[in-house]
Structure 1
Amino acid sequence: MSVVGLDVGNDTLVAAAARQRGIDVLLNAESKRESPAAVAFSHSARLLGAHAAGAASSHAPFSSPKRLLLLASRPAPRDLPRLPFPVDVGARVHVDHLARRIALSPTHILAMLLAYLRQLAEDDLDAPVADCVISVPCYLTQAQRRAYADAAAVAGLRPLRLMHDLAATALGYGLYRSDLGVAGGPTFVAFVDVGHSDTQAGVVAFDPSGMKVLSHAFDADLGGRDFDEVLFEHFAEEFRDRYKIDVVGNVKASMRLRAACEKAKKVLSANAEAVVNIECLMEEKDVRGMIRREDFEKLCAELLERVVEPCKRAMADAGIGLDKLQSVELVGSGSRVPAIARVLAGFFRREPSRTINVSECVARGCALQCAMLSPTFRVREYEVQDVIPASIGFCTNEGPISTLSSNALFRRGQPLPSVKIITLHKNSGFTLDAFYVDENELPPGTSTQIGSFEIGPFQAHSEKSKVKVKIRLNLHGLISVESAVLIDDDQRDVNSADSMELDSNDDMDHKSKNERPMHRQDLQIVESIYGVMSKQELLEAQEQEQQLAYQDKLVERTKERKNALESYVYDTRNKLSERYRSFATDSEREEISVNLQQTEDWLYEEGDDETEAVYTSKLEELKKLVDPIEYRCKDEEARAEATRELLKRIVDHRMAAKSLSAPERDAIDNECTKVELWLRESSHLQESLPKNVDPVVWSHEIKKKEEELDMSCSKIVTGRARGHDNNDGC
């Protein structure tokens, strides 16, 4: 079983796999290391990755999976104009596929991309893939993390961990370095990830035994695409004034201009100026524009200021000074803008390093973590400790459950995973509500409500019974109420009103020696997380994905049969005029040529969109006409080879017979002579026939004669051996 790391970015997809010799980034069908994060639909086919991006001119692809996931849970009006497709309530999109209307949630689209990566990995590794580690941004809410887990289940994957992007980057950075933390204390490294749609920053402490994330900070609405948007707005305004066209109001023109602006940004990373030149952008007008790097940086001044803010928060949360940092690592697809490195150098007082691959580091780190968690790989002991990115609290109708003034049960910065056990004095069913303590720790506009956990129903024997609740924040960063146990003690006299306590000991079965026997009862827990798929919706999504996957394979097989038919037409036409020419009669060549031309015309007309069965049937019809000629051609060479082998075999048998007695030698020679005579007569008859008729004797018949000769000679030798044995017995 293979183990892989999957990085689903907002713009690109990367998959890496752990092998015995290290970590390899896997190639897609186009032999590229990155694939577009896009899904497109035609009337009969689903397109994924590069195929979806390539069909953008005819079928608008659904892209930006991270932004769609955020749109499902919070308002983001700036995102809507950038999407080349309409979105519904809950960020759902609608497509027409196979003559029916399909509604797709962000989780469905994410599942399709994960399934694409799984298939990519299976094709590259030639092995089934299930175990994986999937990267996620640190700012995801509980609902969004569960969306990733649900999407993985729909895609047929079994994630061993949902790993924060920076933690994955740090793991790939630290595992292979032997110089970190060897000078008597930990080595502190800051990581800044400027992605396509977000910016994340964090500080990590390294020592020879492992790594510990000290802080996470982010700007969920600042990434490389925002710098592209600055160029887009600049040129859209320029073209409106110069060419009198409104690019913003035209979806296809906006897509083309955005693509050109992205290229211009890359050009400005290495050059002082860049030119945007687009033919027939709209209204049959060719447009041309130019921008200098200094002008671009002035337009991006506000964005450049925002890049530093997550870095400030990350350093403050880490609790160390800038002088303690050994280095600053800059990664992410949006980090190539020179001005970003310059402003970060001004804040950190040192030039950011680029010692790791900015686009592949997350996938590589995830693959490493998957190998460490999988029992099929042996990796050196290396501790990976991440932290809780946002404080989570719990409350009942009586108020928050915490011993802290912040009302946080799981405090930001605490190790991940984490377990808490709370004791509540309850005598009937109740509900625990989970929430984020501080909205400032979440992307703007995100709800602080997580969900509710209904405990019970139950009826205690005592008015002051206790309920011990075990709450876990697991390795994925997902919260769950793992167990709830009712503890009844009728003999205890508790006069206080219902209260709540936070246990420091995680062992729910621990009892003191003086404690009286208590009645324990496991209670039912009903979980309700806001904004996630129900079990029924998950099953429906899995069924829908299976149907789409089956249709994808059917379309692929149909495409292969169509290509096979087309190739057969061209290949046979060439062979008929060259290699097969002497093996076909004039009437056969005429009939086949007519059928080939008819098939070619049919392929480009009414046969352009047919079923697999129809293409297969057409191919079989042609083969019935061509196969006899092909057999004659191939059998000529095979017949000559079989003749040589038979003659050699006759010589071998006669040579071997020299050591036998005269009767046996004569018997073998007689068998060889009969076969030799048959071969001579058959060859003489064959030479008198033209090549365009079936041969008198086929190569397989000559091979059969060779087998018969071997058997006859073997019987003669075996009979001799038996005769000797009988004589010895007498």
Structure 2
Amino acid sequence: MSVVGLDVGNDTLVAAAARQRGIDVLLNAESKRESPAAVAFSHSARLLGAHASGAASSHAPFSSPKRLLLLASRPVPRDLPRLPFPVDAAGGARVHVDHLGRRIALSPTHILAMLLAYLRQLAEDDLGAPVADCVISVPCYLTQAQRRAYADAAAVAGLRPLRLMHDLAATALGYGLYRSDLGVAGGPTFVAFVDVGHSDTQAGVVAFDPSGMKVLSHGFDADLGGRDFDEVLFEHFAEEFRDRYKIDVVGNVKASMRLRAACEKAKKVLSANAEAVVNIECLMEEKDVRGMIRREDFEKLCAELLERVVEPCKRAMADSGIGLDKLQSVELVGSGSRVPAIARVLAGFFRREPSRTINVSECVARGCALQCAMLSPTFRVREYEVQDVIPASIGFCTNEGPISALTSNALFRRGQPLPSVKIITLHRNSGFTLDAFYVDENELPPGTSTQIGSFEIGPFQAHSEKSKVKVKIRLNLHGLISVESAVLIDEDQRDANSADSMELDSNDNMDHKSRNERPMHRQDLQIVECIYGVMSKQELLEAQEQEQQLAYQDKLVERTKERKNALESYVYDTRNKLSERYRGFATDSEREEISVNLQQTEDWLYEEGDDETEAVYTSKLEELKKLVDPIEYRCKDEEARAEATRELLKRIVDHRMAAKSLSAPERDAIDNECTKVELWLRESSQLQESLPKNVDPVVWSHEIKKKEEELDMYLTFLP
């Protein structure tokens, strides 16, 4: 069983696999290490990843899976104009597409599932083995609903995630596991990581020692990434072209897509050059446009964005509890980190130049693959502890108020180790509801709801007024919250303490009894979970069924394409052979008939046969082969017949040589049989030489081979 790490970015996809010799980044069908995070639909096919980018479809490819997931739970109005496809913001950020005569509504979870399925297929093609176990990277700022969306998407894609791993934790694991110089000077080594991605910026501080790594803090800006720097250029040139060429690029979707692509290229040029030129032919209204920008002007336009880059770093450093002087290194990664001004601003904050010792695009996928190898029983990896922290405080409350022993109302505090388990003891006589919520909205992306969900405990009816309910709440390795169990405890005597309480179950065991514990009755209670904004079980089943249907249709389309290509190749290949290799083996009438059929098939392929079924292409190919196969057999059999003749003559010589050591009767019998076969072969060959090549041979190569086998059999059982 293979283990893989999957990095689903907002712009690109990367898959890495653990092998015995290390971690390899897997290549897609175009032999590239990164694939576009895009899904497109043509009139009859679904295109994923590398196939979707630049493919001819009725609309722009669906992309930006992270942004769609955020749009489903919080309003980000400025995101909608940037997306080159319509989004139903009021309907859970769904997108609609016409496919095979049906109108399909795709949720962000389903689009994410399609991309994960693409990565799974990519991994299976590269590794040559089924892929199920995986570790998937996620941003640290995802809410419970969004984390569950990743888990649901993995289930729809046929994957079994062993962990949803924070991007920076994966990066830090790939950085620290192979280094022997970390934490050897009598204390941990502190390293700051800054990930400027396509659509977000994350920062964190990690402590390393020889036995493992511990994430100390997270900081983020969910709305700041490389695309925002592209947008600055887009707005600049859109305004310039409006004034110079009198065209409104913003109001034209296709022109906006082309200008944004050109601005992204210009940003990359500015990373290594003092100026960049934007030159687009026929942008709109048949007008060619040209613009130029200098790096210093670009940096002035991005001044506000550059100031925001530092904010996640400030938050991460403050939460880590260490000073800047304690940092050994600052590692800068992410596709948006190549802007020189970003490195300069970070150098000013951290008082040191950021390092680029790890691959900025592949480090997350590699770290996920390492973690998957550690968690999977398939691989043996050296002991190395990977400890992450809770990125946002989570609290619980009942109708009587928050449940916590802390003034902050947080049951799981930001910065505590992940995973974590808490047991709370509540005095209840009947069913009740626990509501989960984020304690501080400032720990979430702006506009995100603090409500997580509710857990209904019961119904039940206690036998005593002072009955207790012990509830175990788990924040698991994925960062998902759940009420794992609830037990009603009826004691024979009243508990002196009637207040609700909370305790940490370090042994993860609710059945432990102390020696002085009084006899009690225990009853496991029913728990009904309701997480806001997630798919129901029925919706998940429907999504899985829909994905299976689409996957089947994808395979059918692929097989149809293969049969069409096979038919087209056969037409061209046969036409060439007919005038060269097959020329002497076909009569004039056969050549004419085949040539006519080849031309008719070619014309049909490019006209009414351009979009036919697999069965039709297969039938057409078989019809052509019925005409061509006799000629092909004659041609191939000429060479095979000559080889079989040589082998038979050699075998006759060998048998006669071997017979010299036998008795006279045996020698005569062998010689007579060899003479018969030799005579048959000579007569057949003479008759064959008298015939033209364009008729079927009087003796086929397989008949000569059969005669050789009969001779061997006769000599084996010679009386």
TMscore range, shorter length: over 0.9
Residue 161 of structure 1 aligns to a residue whose secondary structure is strand
Cα distance, 1:535–1:169 mapped onto 2, change above 3 Å: same
2:400: which partner in 1? 398
The verdict on how the C-alpha distance between 1:696 and 1:250 changes in structure 2, with shifts beyond 3 A counting, is same
| Alpha-carbon separation, structure 2, partners of 1:498 and 1:389 | 27
Q: 1:668 to 1:293 in 2, by over 3 A?
A: same
Deviation for aligned residue 1:504: 7.0
Are the structure 2 counterparts of residues 473 and 501 from structure 1 closer, same or farther at C-alpha, using a change threshold of 3 Å?
Answer: closer
Quick check: 1:423–1:503 contact (8 Å CA) kept in 2?
Answer: no
Q: Kindly indicate whether the alpha-carbon contact (under 8 Å) linking 1:431 and 1:453 is maintained by their aligned counterparts in 2.
A: yes
Distance across 2 between alignment mates of 1:197 and 1:66: 8
Deviations, residues 610-663 of structure 1 (Å, cap 9, x unaligned): 000000000000000000000000000000000000001111111111111111
Shift, 1:51, TM fit? 1.6
Report the counterpart of residue 190 of structure 2 in structure 1: 188
Aligned to 2:50: 50
Q: Displacement, 1:502?
A: 6.7
Deviation at 1:501, TM superposition (A): 6.7
Task: Say which SS state the counterpart of residue 78 (structure 2) adopts.
Answer: coil
Contact 2:405–2:502 (CA under 8 A) maintained in structure 1: no
Over the residues paired in the alignment, what is the CA RMSD in angstroms? Answer: 1.1
Where does residue 443 of structure 2 map in the other structure?
441
With over 3 angstroms needed to count, the CA separation of the structure-2 counterparts of 1:305 and 1:612, relative to structure 1, is same
Contact 2:393 2:411 in 1 (8 A): yes
| Secondary structure at 1:7 match in 2 | strand
State the Cα distance separating 1:593 from its structure 2 match: 0.3
1:91 positional shift: 0.2
Tell me the residue number matched to 1:726.
Answer: none
Checking the alignment, whether the CA contact within 8 Å between 1:199 and 1:218 is kept in structure 2 is yes
Contact preservation (8 Å) 2:310, 2:346: yes
Structure 1 residues 495 and 406: alpha-carbon distance in aligned structure 2, compared to 1, 3 A threshold: closer
Q: Note if contact 2:426-2:499 (Cα within 8 Å) is conserved in structure 1.
A: no
Deviation at 1:701, TM superposition (A): 0.5
Deviations 1:214-236 (A, max 9, x none): 00000000000000000000000
- For the structure 1 residues 503 and 690, does the alpha-carbon distance in structure 2 shift closer, same or farther, using more than 3 Å as the test? closer
1:425 and 1:500 in contact (8 A); partners too:
no
Greater alpha carbon shift after TM alignment, 507-516 vs 417-426: 507-516
Displacement of 1:490 in angstroms is 3.0
- Cα drift, residue 377 of structure 1: 0.3
Counterpart Cα distance in 2 of 1:501 and 1:175 = 35
Query: By how many angstroms is 1:360 displaced?
Result: 0.2
Deviation larger for 152-161 or 653-662: 653-662
**Contact 1:279–1:287, Cα closer than 8 Å, also in 2:** yes
Q: For 1:121 and 1:174, how far apart are their aligned partners in 2?
A: 25
- Please state how far the C-alpha of 1:514 moved relative to its aligned partner: 1.7
Cα distance, 1:507 vs structure 2: 2.9
Question: Is the 1:11–1:196 contact (alpha carbons within 8 Å) kept by the matching residues of 2?
Answer: yes
Classify 1:270/1:362 alpha carbon distance in 2 versus 1 (closer, same or farther; 3 Å).
same
* Structure 2 contact 43–58 (Cα < 8 Å) conserved: no
Report if the CA contact (8 A) 2:176-2:213 is conserved. yes
SS in 1 for 2:610: coil
Deviations 1:254-278 (A, max 9, x none): 0000000000000000000000000
The 1:494–1:56 alpha-carbon spacing in structure 2 relative to 1, beyond 3 Å, is: farther
Distance in 2, Cα, partners of 1:503 & 1:687: 94
Contact 2:421 2:505 in 1 (8 A): no
More moved, 152-161 vs 490-499 = 490-499
1:13 aligns to what SS in structure 2?
strand
Q: Secondary structure at the match of 2:53?
A: helix
The answer to whether the 8 A contact 1:426-1:498 is kept is: no
Alignment partners' CA distance in 1, 2:49 and 2:518: 64
- TM superposition shift of 1:500: 6.7
Is the Cα–Cα contact under 8 Å of residues 464 and 498 in structure 1 kept in the other structure?
no
Task: Give deviations 1:308-366, integer Å, cap 9, x for gaps.
Answer: 00000100000001010000000000000000000000000000000000000000000
Measure the CA separation in 2 of the matches of 1:371 and 1:221. 32
Q: Secondary structure at the match of 1:202?
A: strand
Q: CA deviation at 1:492?
A: 2.5
1:491 deviation in Å?
Answer: 2.6
Taking a change above 3 Å as real, the CA distance of residues 277 and 130 of structure 1, as seen in their structure-2 partners, is same
Deviation at 1:203, TM superposition (A): 0.2
**What secondary structure sits across from 1:54 in the alignment?**
coil
SS in 2 for 1:53: coil
- Decide whether the 8 Å contact of 2:422 with 2:502 is kept in 1: no
Q: Which runs of 5+ in 2 are unaligned?
A: 714-719
Supply the distance in 2 between the matched residues of 1:493 and 1:161 (Cα, whole angstroms): 41
Q: Which moved more, 1:258-267 or 1:53-62?
A: 53-62
Following superposition, the deviation at residue 125 of structure 1 comes to: 0.5
Deviation at 1:385, TM superposition (A): 0.3
Provide the residue aligned with 2:102 in structure 1. 100
- Tell me, yes or no, if the aligned pair for 2:5 and 2:135 is still in contact at 8 Å: yes
Conserved 8 A contact 1:396-1:430: yes
Of residues 374-383 and 485-494 in structure 1, the stretch that sits farther from structure 2 once superposed is 485-494
Residue 516 of structure 1: CA displacement?
Answer: 1.4
> Which stretch has the larger CA shift, 189-198 or 52-61?
52-61
- Structure 2 length normalisation: TM-score? 0.98
Q: Check 1:451–1:219 CA distance in 2 against 1; reply closer, same or farther (3 A cut).
A: same
- Deviation of the 1:511 alpha carbon: 1.8
Q: Which runs of 5+ in 1 are unaligned?
A: 712-730
1:33 to 1:422, Cα distance in 2 relative to 1, 3 A: same
> Deviations 1:65-98 (Å, cap 9, x if unpaired)?
000000000000010000111111x100000000
TM-score, with length taken from structure 1: 0.96
Number of the residue aligned with 1:82: 82
* Range that drifts further, 367-376 or 51-60: 51-60
> Which residue of 493, 496, 516 maps to 2:495?
493
Displacement of 1:685 after TM fit?
A: 0.3
Partners of 2:245 and 2:57 in 1: CA distance: 23
Q: 1:517 deviation in Å? A: 1.2
Decide whether the 8 Å contact of 2:279 with 2:290 is kept in 1.
yes
Q: Deviations over 1:174-226 (max 9, x none)?
A: 00000000000000000000000000000000000000000000000000000
**Counterparts in 2 of 1:453-492, with a 5 A limit?**
453-492=455-494
**Contact (CA 8 Å) 2:41, 2:57: kept in 1 or not?**
no
Q: Which whole-Å CA distance do the structure 1 matches of 2:442 and 2:283 have between them?
A: 42
8 Å contact from structure 2 (residues 474, 483) kept in 1: yes
Counterparts in 2 of 1:496 and 1:380: CA distance versus 1, 3 Å: closer
**Following the alignment from structure 1 to structure 2, what is the Cα–Cα distance between the partners of residues 497 and 388?**
28
Worse-superposed segment, 665-674 or 507-516: 507-516
* Distance of aligned partners of 1:10 and 1:669 in 2 relative to their CA distance in 1, 3 Å threshold: same
What do residues 343-398 of structure 1 show as CA deviations (whole Å, max 9, x unaligned)? Answer: 00000000000000000000000000000000000111100000000000011111
User: Cα distance, 1:513 vs. partner?
Assistant: 1.2
Where does structure 1 differ by over 2 angstroms across 4 or more consecutive aligned residues?
56-59, 490-507
Are residues 497 and 173 of structure 1, via their aligned partners in 2, closer, same or farther at CA, if it must alter by over 3 Å? closer
Distance of 1:505 and 1:645 partners within structure 2: 79
Partners of 2:130 and 2:671 in 1: how far apart? 59
Distance 1:497 1:317, change over 3 A: closer
SS of equivalent to 1:364: helix
Q: Is the 8 A contact 1:57 1:252 kept in 2?
A: no
How much does 1:149 deviate? 0.2
